[in-house]
Structure 1
Amino acid sequence: MSCIRTTIRTFASRIKEILMKEIVTLLLILQIHIGSSIFAIGGPYIDNGDGTIKDTLNGFYWQKCSFGQASLDCSGSATIMDWNSAIFSCQNLNLAGRIWRVPNVKELASLIDYRRTTHPIIDVSMFQNTIGGYYWSSTSGISAGSSPDSTAVNDFNSDPSSYVATPASIRRAYSIPRNTRYRSMAYIADYRMGGTIEFPKANNAYLRCVSGP
């Protein structure tokens, strides 16, 4: 009986831990989408004709094209890079005489256009030729510790920390390798599915720089 009680307590503790993690995730979503001063809703937008798009609601100037594409018509191939390279690339971007940086996760999420039913989930009339994939934010992971095993089926320890509700078969795209330290990750916006998620900084993703407000 003692062994059974111990097992039940352990199981209950694990369930509580999972529920707390889901609550924290929900709070993070709310913070991202209804943050204190900048809402995760962008636009209306103005094409300034110089390779920048102005968000008239939030006061940002966005790089019209993905980093690596031609600045005016978004032709050519977008560049993929790791997180540190993204930080460096925006800091050294020479465009329209403005100072550029990697957007934080709230700013990046403001570009997600949930009215669209096909990818990329963004206003393609303004942000032409956007890749339906991952784009870097400057926001690092906030949780302590490391990710558990993400490969097991029906395992309470399975991770990914996805912030969009998707079928289990699709959620596998968000799997985080076992024992990846959360603070070695940064948030990305996924313009294929919509939503944000932690992503290892050593991995490659696309980039769109922001300036202002």
Structure 2
Amino acid sequence: QRLQVRDPQRRVAALNTETGVWQLADDPQPAPDHSDGGSIWPAVGDRLTSALNVPVGFINVAVGGTAVRQWLPTEPLSQRLHAAGRSTGRFRAVLWQQGESDVIENTSIADYVSRLQSIRSAAVAAWQFSPAWYCALSTHHPTVYNNPDGENRIRDAIRQVSQLPGFALGPDTDQLRGPNRGGPKSRRHFSAIGQQNAAELWASLLLRREFNRP
């Protein structure tokens, strides 16, 4: 479902990296893959602005269906990530919601960890500062595959990388099952209620970890 910013002061913004213009963060997000679907970020922003009473901005560089290898420093997506970060100066955190394609590709734990380390190291060098890097446990995609062993492998990889310097464990969005997921023919990660619940998981974690809020 396409979400809209509900903050009455319209303080949730998204940067269009192609035009360099900040815009209201209504879905579809101005992401490089030009997806016209919904996301969780308007709802995350609403929750943060409500709790903190400050504007919130997102720079969405996501490309759906990508594995971690596609973000390595030698790949074009890495350059997009670097350019997006440089375009805005300092920012609070990287929110890494990814892992399903690595279940499909049977990525090993060691490869996932080393690849994400390389991605972060190159990004930090490009940005010249080290923002927090939160990695969600995001491996469950029941409308595409049924692979509990693969999901557990990538979950273990995300947990391992989150213990390394510069990384932190994000929310466990895999816990959202049943009605939180898209229909059997939709291939969507989340239903409308699932989007809201995933947004709440992200916002609650960020409020605790970044702002010491309950």
TM-score of the superposed pair, with normalisation by structure 2:
0.27
Larger-gyration structure (1/2): 1
Quick check: which one's helix share is greater? 2
